[in-house]
Amino acid sequence: MTDTRDKEGWEHIIKAEEAGESLKDLNLSPDDADRVKIANLLGIVEVKSLNTKLKFTRVRGGMVIRIDGIINANIVQECVVTLEPIEGHIEESFQAWYTDPDQAISFNKARQQREMQKQHGEVPILEESDDPEPIIDGVIDVGDVVTQFLSLSIDPYAHKEGVQYEVGDDEEHPETSPIRKNPFEKLKEWKDKQGS
């Protein structure tokens, strides 16, 4: 298990072969520098604390790794109307699936093709558990997994109690536009960079 710090986001790499075998449970808390990276990546003011509990299980005859996680975080965002800092607490659970693409994916692709033939060419949308993420180079970056699920839990239109976002607020103050503050956009930009 290694932990690298030279990337834009938080990385915590585990060997896929250990997940669900010698590595069953993992508690993670990024350090100060990594919390700054996460905040910058997600376009928020600060990640004050982030604690994650991960459980690794082998399913489908050991071909698929299921990750059950619980995120517990305290964050600071800007109010989309006043730009004042707002503290928030996030407590969410999630599941993620990974596999060697040469093993389990081929079965799912075959099943998808069979369904497509039945539905005259319409491609059915697979559940996440039926369409696991590929394991690349024998490792899983669980720091990236946690960051992605944290981003989904952040309120993209956070506002101070008693303050309401009104249509036209972003025309008056373009820098407060909720579209620009949306953490999904920041994550998408980061994922696009990773793919290039």
pLDDT tens, position by position, 89-114? 999 999 999 998 776 545 455 556 65
In a domain, 109, yes or no: no
In a domain, 73, yes or no: yes
pLDDT of amino acid 50: 98
Confirm whether pTM is higher than 0.85: no
Quick check: 143 pLDDT over 90? yes
Quick check: 39 pLDDT over 70? yes
Q: Which of 123, 104, 96, 4 is nearest to 62 (CA)?
A: 104
Q: What is the mean pLDDT of residues 43-67?
A: 94
Sequence-ordered strand ranges (E) for 79-181:
85-99, 133-134, 139-141
In a domain, 37, yes or no: yes
In a domain, 119, yes or no: no
pLDDT band at 149 (very low <50, low <70, confident <90, very high): very high
In a domain, 60, yes or no: yes
In a domain, 147, yes or no: yes
Number of domains in the chain: 1
Q: What is the mean pLDDT of residues 31-54?
A: 97
Contacts 24+ apart (CB under 8 A), 24-32: 24/55, 24/56, 24/57, 25/53, 25/54, 25/55, 25/56, 26/53, 26/54, 26/56, 26/142, 27/51, 27/52, 27/53, 27/54, 28/52, 28/54, 28/142, 28/143, 28/146, 30/143
> What percent of the chain lies above the pLDDT cut of 70?
64
Beta bridge pairs of residue 163: none
Q: Which of these ranges, 8-22, 32-46, 61-75, 179-193, has the smallest mean pLDDT?
A: 179-193
> What is the domain range of residue 175?
13-102+133-195
Residue found under tokens 């993992």 = 26
